[in-house]
Amino acid sequence: MIKTMKVGEIRRYHRVITKDDVARFGALTGDTNKAHFDEAYTKTTMFKKPIVHGMMLGSLFSRIFGLEYPGEGTIYCSQSLKFLKPVYPDEPIEVVVTVKDITMEKNRVIFTTEIFDQSGDCVLTGEAMLMPRKDVNL
């Protein structure tokens, strides 16, 4: 699988995270921080309204890595995340991964991972290291 990959290759998709998605993520993780749910509280913060959990955003790369590119059988080894701007529920975002480096002998691929808001601003950036499956047959 790694032999077919090339530095610079990009995969992307668009997504809208709803308030219901945020509620389910909060229930799943136990993170019920007011910053994600309490409209009155968030009016007193720099965000002015509830924001999407940062780790929920970070998890969005899994869809590409686990199902599309490299795809089934890929092992997610590491992920760094830097949160640049808030993301609000019900606003469109674009999730983008780009092959940054390939180490054939160790079967490792480094990706730049980014999320952009509807105005094209980068709201999250980071890097992921993956171990693609070695065999194209599952």
In a domain, 137, yes or no: no
* Domains contained in the chain, number: 1
pLDDT of residue 10: 98
Range of the domain at 116: 7-131
pLDDT of residue 1: 78
pLDDT of residue 37: 97
pLDDT of residue 6: 97
In a domain, 2, yes or no: no
In a domain, 49, yes or no: yes
First-last CA distance in the chain: 11
pLDDT of residue 88: 98
Q: What is the pTM of this model?
A: 0.92
In a domain, 87, yes or no: yes
In a domain, 138, yes or no: no
Rounded alpha-carbon distances, angstroms, from residue 87 to 7, 45, 54, 121, 122: 29, 14, 8, 11, 10
pLDDT of residue 136: 56
pLDDT tens digits, the chain, 138 residues: what are they? Answer: 788 999 999 999 999 999 999 999 999 999 999 999 999 999 999 999 999 999 999 999 999 999 999 999 999 999 999 999 999 999 999 999 999 999 999 999 999 999 999 999 999 999 999 999 886 555
In a domain, 97, yes or no: yes
The CATH number linked to 11 is 3.10.129.10
Contact in structure between 62 and 77 (CB atoms under 8 Å): no
Contact in structure between 1 and 134 (CB atoms under 8 Å): yes
pLDDT of residue 134: 80
